[in-house]
Amino acid sequence: MLRAILIAIGVFFSGMMLYSFGASTYAYLTDPAAPTAEEEFHLHPKEVHFSFNGSLGHYDRQQLQRGFQVFKEVCSACHSLKFVAFRDLEQLGYSEAEVKAIAKQWTIKAPDVDPKTGEPSTRDPVPADHFPKPFANNVAAAAANNNAIPPDLSLMAKARHDGPAYIHSLLTGFQSQEGFKNAKGKELLKEFPDSKTPEGLHFNPYFANLNLAMAPPLTAEGQVSYGDGTKATVDQMATDVSAFLMWTAEPKLESRKSTGMAVLFFLLIATGLAYLSYRNIWADKKH
Amino acid sequence: MSFPWAAHYTPKAPLMKWIDERLPLPRLVYNSIGAGYPVPRNLNYMWNFGVLSGLALVIQIVSGIIMAMHYAANDLVAFGTVEHVMRDVNSGWLIRYAHANGASFFFIVVYLHIFRGLFYGSYKAPREMVWLLGLVIYLLMMATAFMGYVLPWGQMSYWGAKVITGLFGAIPVVGEPIQTWLLGGFAPGNAALNRFFSLHYLLPFVIAGVIILHIWALHIPGSNNPTGVDVKGPQDTVPFHPYYTAKDGFGAGVFLILFSILLFFAPNFLGHPDNYIEANPLSTPAHIVPEWYFWPFYAILRAFTFDFFFVPAKLLGVLAMFAAILLLFFLPWLDNSPVRSGKFRPVFKQFFIVLCIDVLILGWCGGAPATAGYVMISQIAAAYYFAHFLIILPLIAMFEKPLPLPNSITEAVLAKHNLQGEEPAAVPAE
Ligand code: HEM
């Protein structure tokens, strides 16, 4: 009896699935899903080489400092780094005094309360402060940016597939929609007239929905002047700031990899010994 | 315990003797995982996964308790406290990555453990209770993992909780009140987060309790083995300690090596990037997907795209998804072939291989976006999944002609080593 019920359930579900398969195949053949503008225009991140790729990869401190400089001089006008404190910059090779000075001279001040009146006020950040937010609140942020709120960048490099390469591609990927892939964009625009980038937004094939409220932030060679003599091409600045954002997202990357090497070394030896003792114990037993 | 020739516990150290006379705990341990438990001598590496599941549970409990010391289950700060663990707590990144990847490894070893049972017929008499308790553990694990994934309060946490509790919304009339009751609100929020944390902390200990029952039930008949043939005498078994403690020790080493490779060199490989974005009820992610270990069931859920008379497709999908798991409870009565091991069941073996591929395909579709192509593949694969357990297994049991079984475990072992003179024909080649 139980088996009969179970078999009947099986026949029902399997039958339902076969019927659905037939019906969806029919639907698919008679009315195939048309490709969307997003699919046609969208590009995967470029291949970018970073020093921290691979299982032995490390951060390049010089590069992180350059990336920080790009963040400070360009991105910080709109983006926050709420999980990072000024004192964390010591990990990039800045001295305590330098970090103190960076915090003190930060353009955006830290929110505070006037000790006499209790009115909201601001003060110079100190190393223990996290990077202050550039806008007072989300409404102000959206109002200044075409209705889009610039996201916090602390975790951006882990919050997108292939994060650092994605950020690099995004920053270097602004282009005219018509010129997309040698004027293929023109044809696509004819096919999908609705996909034309709206006024005030910027076409970028690396961005998921193609139209970004952020204007191209890195536009000209030499936009920042690097202290270490590296030529500040747009590509170089984009790579450096992407590396810096990988560090803000995964500051423990280097100790993770080096701990991993030590742990693996230990485990390989321990497992080898465990294997030998296993063989030894079973030596007299056929199995 | 189970066999008359099992060694008896005779404490040597005076302290152990003193304890054993007052509380026979040392005796219990000796009889369960010590020299007092006779185990078939021919177990292969597939029998390592029970102990490895236990190891995975220990890793989860230890890392989880430490994380709970720094975590706050409050929707305003939860995401930040997880980042605090990653950045400020000493070795916090290690604890957190170990817990996140440990959950995946837990499911990997439990899936291998379950498929071991499926192939060697370990669910059959007299081990039905072991199998049923194992499934209870599996259900508890899924509940624990689902609630754990909500705790970091990222985008996938939030939307996953919304979609999964929304499944209850498919039940007619009472569905939506149930969903609201489960969440403590109309959408996931602080109330849901708090109760999920409370239960997520509780359930692993419930799992530990059910594991004790699982092993208790196992020790009544004793372990199954690759031939599926019953133990006939002392020559068929070896004491668990030192034979299988040594083998499990080696297995644990291999497990930890593979675990470390993922944990230290690709800790986010199995995760979803969207969970590094704080939960935002106003922005729906493009693709909401659960963690990989739920993908086969998620594919079944989404495969139901057509109504059946007055039953809406969504409800059917929910019913089918639960049925896909619950049918495993009936397996001992669906497959009533008297032969346990798949090695001696030529037809079963073919279908078993198809099932393994089928589940992998379901998993692959469940993780992919729900486009027409993937849904169609899921539909075929889901049809086979239900047919396999509910139609094919009972039929095979009726019509299959099994290969001749060895007379005993020892005979099979000796034949493998070509040490047996007479009757080699009685032992089929592997
Ligand atoms: C936390 C999870 C689990 C733990 C710690 C655990 C532990 C164990 C251990 C230590 C054994 C004996 C060693 C072995 O045969 O591998 C065992 C046997 C067994 N387990 Fe589990 N188990 C778990 C989950 C499950 C699940 C989910 C199932 C199936 C649905 C299951 C089914 C079985 C069966 C059928 C046996 C007997 C195997 C045989 O004798 O051939 N277990 N389990």
Overall average pLDDT of the B134-155 stretch: 98
Q: Which among B243, B380, B419 has the least Cβ separation from residue A21?
A: B380
Cis preceding linkage at B242, omega within 30: yes
Long-range contacts of A253-259 (CB under 8 A, 24+ apart): A253/A52, A253/A59, A254/A58, A254/A59, A256/B93, A256/B94, A256/B97, A256/B264, A256/B267, A257/A55, A257/A56, A257/A57, A257/A58, A257/B264, A257/B265, A259/B94, A259/B264
Q: Is B219 annotated as a binding residue?
A: yes
Question: What is the spatial distance between Cα A26 and Cα A31, in angstroms, rounded to a whole number?
Answer: 8
Three-class SS of residue A85?
Answer: strand
Contacts of B371 in chain A (CB under 8 A): 33
Residue type, B389: F
Short-list A280, A285, A278, A281, CA closest to B235: A285
Q: Which residues face B110 on adjacent strands?
A: none
Average pLDDT, chain A: 94
Hey, of A11, A24, A38, which one would you mutate to test binding to chain B, going by the most B CBs within 10 A of its CB? Answer: A24
In angstroms, the first-to-last Cα distance of chain B is 32
Q: Reduced to 3 states, what is the DSSP secondary structure of residue B72?
A: coil
Nearest CA to B41 among B250, B240, B251, B245? B240
> pLDDT tier at B421 (50, 70, 90 boundaries)?
very low
Could you tell me the two tokens for B41?
């001598």
The answer, yes or no, to whether residue B426 has pLDDT greater than 80, is no
Considering only the beta carbons, identify the residue of B83, B246, B416 that sits closest to A281: B246
The whole-number average pLDDT for the span A164-178 is 95
C-beta atoms surrounding B129 within 10 Å: 17
Interface of B with A in 168-187 (CB under 8 A): none
Environment class of residue A93 by beta-carbon count within 10 Å: exposed (0-12), middle (13-18) or buried (19+)?
exposed
On whether any CB of chain A is under 8 Å from the CB of B11, the answer is: no
Taking the C-alpha atoms of residue A102 and residue A126, their distance in angstroms, rounded to an integer, is: 9
Which tens digits make up the pLDDT trace of B145-178?
A: 999 999 999 999 999 999 999 999 888 889 999 9
Q: Which residues pair with B38 in a beta bridge?
A: B239
Nearest to B97 by CA among B74, B66, B142: B66
The pLDDT value recorded for residue B295 is: 97
Query: What is the amino acid identity at position B126?
Result: P
Query: Which one, of A222, A267, A158, lies nearest residue B96 by Cα?
Result: A158
How many residues in chain A?
Answer: 287
Cα B111 off chain centre by: 5
Q: How far apart are CA B263 and CA B99, in angstroms?
A: 9
Q: What is the pLDDT of residue A179?
A: 84
Q: Using 50, 70 and 90 to split pLDDT, how confident is the model at B420? A: low
Q: Are B355 and B284 in contact (CB under 8 A)?
A: no
Other C-beta atoms within 10 Å of A2: how many?
A: 9
Cα–Cα distance between B337 and B124 in angstroms, integer? 9
pLDDT of A149 > 50? The answer is: yes
pLDDT of residue A183: 79
From B218, B247, B248, B341, mutation site for ligand 1 pocket: most ligand atoms within 8 A of C-beta: B218
Res. B428 pLDDT band, cuts 50 70 90: very low
Determine the Cα angle at B390 with ends B389 and B396, to 5°: 75
pLDDT number for residue B419: 65
Q: Which of A198, A197, A177 is nearest to A187 (CA)?
A: A177
Closest Cα partner for A172 from A261, A269, A45? Answer: A45
A57 CB neighbours in chain B (<8 A) are: none
Residue keyed to tokens 């400020």:
B88
ipTM above 0.90, yes or no: yes
Strand-pair partners of A113: A120
| Residue A4 amino acid letter | A
Q: Do B413 and A25 touch (CB under 8 A)?
A: no
Residues B108, B110, B112, B117: what is their CA dihedral angle, to the nearest 10 degrees?
-170
- Under 8 Å CB-to-CB from B321, ≥6 apart: which residues? B167, B297, B298, B300, B301
Residue A156 has φ and ψ, to the nearest 5°, of -55, -40
Return d(Cα B56, Cα B262) in angstroms, integer.
14
Tell me what percent of the residues of chain B surpass a pLDDT of 90: 93
Q: Is B70 annotated as a binding residue?
A: no
Q: What is the pLDDT of residues B74-116, one digit of tens each?
A: 999 999 999 999 999 999 999 999 999 999 999 999 999 999 9
Least confident of A40-49, A174-183, B271-280: A174-183
Domains of chain B in start order, with CATH, are 1-36 (no CATH), 37-415 (1.20.810.10)
Question: What amino acid occupies position A64?
Answer: L
Q: Is B81 on the interface with A (CB under 8 A)?
A: no
Q: Supply B127's token pair.
A: 């081990």
Q: How confident is the model at residue A178 (pLDDT cuts 50, 70, 90)?
A: confident
- Choose the weakest-confidence range: B40-49, B177-186, B393-402, B415-424: B415-424
Distance of CA B44 to the CA centre of its chain: 19
Which percentage of chain A shows pLDDT scores above 70?
100
Separation of alpha carbons B74 and B193, rounded Å: 7
The verdict on A271 touching B (C-beta cutoff 8 Å) is yes
Q: Over the stretch B293-341, which tens digit does the pLDDT of each residue have?
A: 999 999 999 999 999 988 999 999 999 999 999 999 999 999 999 999 9
Chain B stretch 201-240, residues whose beta carbon is closer than 8 A to a beta carbon of chain A: 238
Contact A10 B268 (CB under 8 A): no
3-state SS record for A184-242: HHHHHHHHCHHHCCCCCCEECCCCCCCEECCCCCCCCCCCCCCCCCCCCCHHHHHHHHH
Assign A284 to helix, strand or coil.
coil
Residue B337 contacts residue B397 (beta carbons within 8 Å):
yes
pLDDT at B101: 98
Q: Which helix (H) or strand (E) holds A274?
A: helix A253-282
Residue B373 backbone dihedrals phi, psi, to 5 degrees = -60, -50
| CA–CA distance, B407 with A279 (Å, rounded to integer) | 27
Which residue type, as a one-letter code, is found at position B129? M
Exposure of B79 by Cβ count < 10 A (0-12 exposed, 13-18 middle, 19+ buried)?
A: buried
Beta-ladder partners of A202: A212
* DSSP 8-state code for residue B389: I
Q: Please pick, among B75, B236, B274, B291, the residue that the annotation labels catalytic.
A: B291
The C-alpha atoms of residue B75 and residue B110 are separated, in whole angstroms, by 32
Let me know if B84 is a catalytic residue.
Answer: no
pLDDT digits (tens, 9 = 90+) for B5-27: 999 999 999 999 999 999 999 99
Q: Which of B236, B248, B274, B335 is catalytic?
A: B248
β-bridge pairing A202-203 and B38-40? unpaired
Q: Token pair of A116, please?
A: 């006499």
Angle A232-A236-A237 (CA atoms, 0-180°, nearest 5)?
75
